[in-house]
C-alpha cells in the first residue's frame, strides 16, 4: 500500500468474523473491513475477481499486498485444485515479520502448514519469482503503482490500496489507464470501493464498470472489465 509517509502507528484489531487486521489511527484507515477481514477479502477479491474470470491458469496483479490475506486466500484456492496462479504484488512498504506473525492469518484460515512459506514470501527482500509451491508462483515488487508498467499481462487486478481519502493519488484516471493497459482484453479489476468519482475515473480510463453487491457492512463495490479488442 503506497502511502507517503507510511503509517508508523499500526495496531492489531480483531474484526467481526474473528480474523485480525491492522488499524492506523494516523491515517484513519483499516487494512480490512471491521465487519470481517477474511469475509471481505473472500467476497471482493476471490469471489468477484479470481473466480469470476473463470480460468484454470490465472495471472493476478495485486495493488497493495498489505497483510497478505488476499495472497493467502488465493493460495488456498490453488491448493484446493481450483486453479494455478502466477501472482505479482506491488508493495513499496512491506510489513515487518513481527506484525505478520501477530496477525496469524494462516491459523485463521485453518492452514497452519502455510505459515512458514507464507512468511518467507512476505518478508523476502527479493523481487525475483519465488519457488512455485502448491500451484502458486509469487513475486513481490517495491515499484510504486504510478511507475508500474505492464502490457496485457494479467487476467485480474486486486485493487486494494488504502481508501481514496487516504491515498487519492492512487485512484486517479492515469492510474486506472495503467491498470487497463496491464490487463488482457476481458480482464477484470475489482475493489472494495464504490465511490462515484472512482467509478467515473475507471470509465474515463476505458473500463466498463459495474456496481455489484458488496461484502457484509457495505452495500456495493466496483468491478471493472477491460473491453475485448474489436474483431
Looking at the domain assignment, is residue 163 inside a domain?
A: yes
Residue 219: domain span? 11-225
Q: Is the pLDDT of residue 231 over 50?
A: no
Q: Is the pLDDT of residue 95 over 70?
A: yes
pTM above 0.85, yes or no: yes
Give the total number of structural domains in the chain.
Answer: 1
- pLDDT per position as a tens digit, 163-208: 999 889 999 999 999 999 999 999 999 999 999 999 999 999 999 9
- Band of pLDDT at residue 101, cut at 50, 70 and 90: very high
CA 87: distance to chain centroid?
A: 10
Q: What is the mean pLDDT of the chain?
A: 93
Q: Is the pLDDT of residue 18 over 80?
A: yes
What letter would DSSP give residue 133? Answer: B
- Band of pLDDT at residue 1, cut at 50, 70 and 90: very low
pLDDT of residue 230: 56
Which of 19, 111, 127 minimizes the C-alpha distance to 67? 19
Strands 208-213 and 183-191: unpaired
For 10, phi and psi rounded to 5 degrees?
Answer: -65, 130
Do residues 190 and 203 make contact, with C-beta atoms less than 8 angstroms apart? no
Cα–Cα distance for residue pair 106/227, rounded to 1 Å: 36
CA 48: distance to chain centroid?
A: 12
Looking at the domain assignment, is residue 5 inside a domain?
A: no
Looking at the domain assignment, is residue 189 inside a domain?
A: yes
- pLDDT per position as a tens digit, 102-159: 999 999 999 999 999 999 999 999 999 999 999 999 999 999 999 999 999 999 999 9
CA 45: distance to chain centroid?
A: 7
Which of 132, 133, 67 minimizes the C-alpha distance to 106? 67
Q: Is the pLDDT of residue 6 over 80?
A: no
Looking at the domain assignment, is residue 6 inside a domain?
A: no
- pLDDT per position as a tens digit, 195-207: 999 999 999 999 9
CATH number, residue 19: 3.40.50.150
Looking at the domain assignment, is residue 201 inside a domain?
A: yes
Q: How many percent of the chain have pLDDT more than 70?
A: 96
Written as one string, the DSSP assignment of 25-89 is TTTTEESS-TT-HHHHHIIIIIIIIIHHH--SEEEEEEE--TTSHHHHHHHHHHHTTS-EEEEEE
Query: Three-state SS for 134?
Result: coil
Q: How many percent of the chain have pLDDT more than 90?
A: 88
Q: Is the pLDDT of residue 5 over 60?
A: no
Looking at the domain assignment, is residue 219 inside a domain?
A: yes
Looking at the domain assignment, is residue 102 inside a domain?
A: yes
What letter would DSSP give residue 145? Answer: G
- pLDDT per position as a tens digit, 31-55: 999 999 999 999 999 999 999 999 9
Do residues 187 and 225 make contact, with C-beta atoms less than 8 angstroms apart? yes
Looking at the domain assignment, is residue 124 inside a domain?
A: yes
Amino acid at each position: 500500500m503506497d502511502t507517503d509517509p507510511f503509517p508508523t502507528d499500526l495496531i492489531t484489531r480483531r474484526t467481526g468474523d474473528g480474523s485480525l487486521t491492522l488499524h492506523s489511527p494516523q491515517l484513519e484507515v483499516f487494512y480490512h473491513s471491521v465487519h470481517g477481514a477474511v469475509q471481505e477479502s473472500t467476497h471482493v477479491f476471490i469471489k468477484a475477481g479470481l473466480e469470476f474470470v473463470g480460468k484454470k491458469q490465472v495471472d493476478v496483479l495485486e495493488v497493495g499486498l498489505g497483510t497478505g490475506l488476499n495472497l493467502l486466500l488465493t493460495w488456498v484456492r490453488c491448493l484446493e485444485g481450483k486453479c494455478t496462479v502466477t501472482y505479482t504484488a506491488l508493495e513499496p512498504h512491506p510489513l515487518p515479520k513481527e506484525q505478520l506473525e501477530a496477525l496469524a492469518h494462516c491459523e485463521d484460515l485453518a492452514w497452519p502448514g502455510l505459515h512458514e512459506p507464507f512468511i518467507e514470501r512476505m518478508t523476502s527482500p527479493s523481487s525475483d519469482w519465488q519457488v512455485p509451491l502448491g500451484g502458486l508462483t509469487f513475486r513481490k515488487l517495491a515499484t510504486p503503482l504510478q511507475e508500474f508498467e505492464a502490457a496485457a499481462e494479467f487476467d485480474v487486478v486486486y485493487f486494494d490500496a488504502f481508501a481514496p481519502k487516504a491515498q487519492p493519488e492512487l485512484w486517479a484516471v492515469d492510474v486506472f489507464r495503467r491498470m487497463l493497459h496491464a490487463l488482457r482484453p476481458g480482464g477484470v479489476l475489482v475493489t472494495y470501493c464504490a465511490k462515484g468519482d472512482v467509478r467515473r475515473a475507471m470509465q474515463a480510463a476505458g473500463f466498463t464498470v459495474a456496481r455489484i453487491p458488496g461484502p457484509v457492512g457495505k452495500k456495493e463495490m466496483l468491478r471493472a472489465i477491460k473491453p475485448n479488442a474489436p474483431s
